[in-house]
Structure formats: structure tokens, C-alpha cells
Structure 1
């Protein structure tokens, strides 16, 4: 186990927390640029900030119930970093760095606003 808490995860096993994503990161970089770079150099994923994951069971009860009603199961794992997960999935990355979200991460996020998925996290749409 990595002393920093990093663990590799298959992007296929992590679900999205939102129903749509912006095509750009907060620093104005394009998500398509990241997808292109990952397709051409899959090892670049190790230079990308790890995604933060959260277990369904670590979420508030109202969010758990909503996600379960959409088809998620009690063992589901969701990301708080939807664009990076989307880019990795689109690029065909088999394994990517991840960390478990901390209690302070979860407290600092309005989880009701973050968990907007309507598909139990199975899919996500890009905004234009």
C-alpha cells in the first residue's frame, strides 16, 4: 500500500456522481486535450491528479437511497472528480491513481448538489 494513500483503480469500476460535466477544467484546460494525451501516452495518467473516491455507504442516507433507487448497489464506489474519470474511460485507461475522499473532503462539498446523477452513476453527458 502506498504511504500517501494512493491506490490504482480500474476506471470501469468507479461510477460518476454527476449527470453532466463541463468540457473544460477549472484551469481552462480542455478535457479533450487530456483524452488525446492519455490515448497517445497512457503512462501520462500517473501525472494526473488522482481521483477521489467515496463508497456509497459513506454518503448521507438520503443520497444513498436516491442512488440505490437509480440502480446503484451498496458496494458502489463513486468519484468526486468526474472529468478526470471520464477522460480516463474515454482514453481506454486500464488503471488510474485514486484516493479515498476524506471526511473533510465530504464536509467541504455540498453532496446534494454534487450527486446529480440520474443513472446511478453509470453514464455522464458533456456540456457544450
Structure 2
């Protein structure tokens, strides 16, 4: 006698795929709801069915993985923030160096103009 399967029965591969999609979404900082929508499209089910399966059955199984996934966006944000602050410090340092060089060039420019003016006056007087 053959055992009949329900059309909407969840297979282990469906559960695995659903869990992977949800954990990936959460680790990227997206919501579980966004994961349900993505899983629905991938599995050919409704997002409500995916959400129900996750919350009723799989969430308990993947509790540790879910907690780890939730902490990943925070760690990534800290890393990005550190990089941004380092970049900001480097940019600030470069800005102040360029500002100092610019001021020196302005000063040199004024001196060259004064020297040219003095030379021009000297030539006009006919001292050569």
C-alpha cells in the first residue's frame, strides 16, 4: 500500500532551504518577513506558509544559528564604522596637510607677484 503525500507537505530539503534563506536574510540585516517572501518565491509557497513553518517548527531547531545570524549585522556595522572612522581620520589628516601646503603656495604666489612687480618697476625706470 502506497502512502499518500499531501500536496503541501514539507520535505526535509524544503525545510533546509527555508532555514538557509531565513538565516541568510537575518545575517544580512534584513527581516524574517523579507526572508519569508524570498523563501515563498523560491519554494513556490505563500509567505504565510513559510512564516508558519518557520515559527511553528524550524525556529526552535535553528535557535542558535538564528541568534548568531542576528549578531552578524551588528558586527558588520561595527567593522564598517571602524573603517569609516579610520577613513575619516586619514581624510582629515590629508585635508589638513593639503590645506597647509595650499597656504604655503598662496604665500609663495604672493611673493612671486611682488618680485615680478618689483622687477617690472625696475625695468620701467630704465635701470638696465
TM-score by length of 2: 0.22
Name whichever structure is richer in strand by fraction: 1
State the structure with more CA Rg: 2
Name whichever structure is richer in helix by fraction: 2
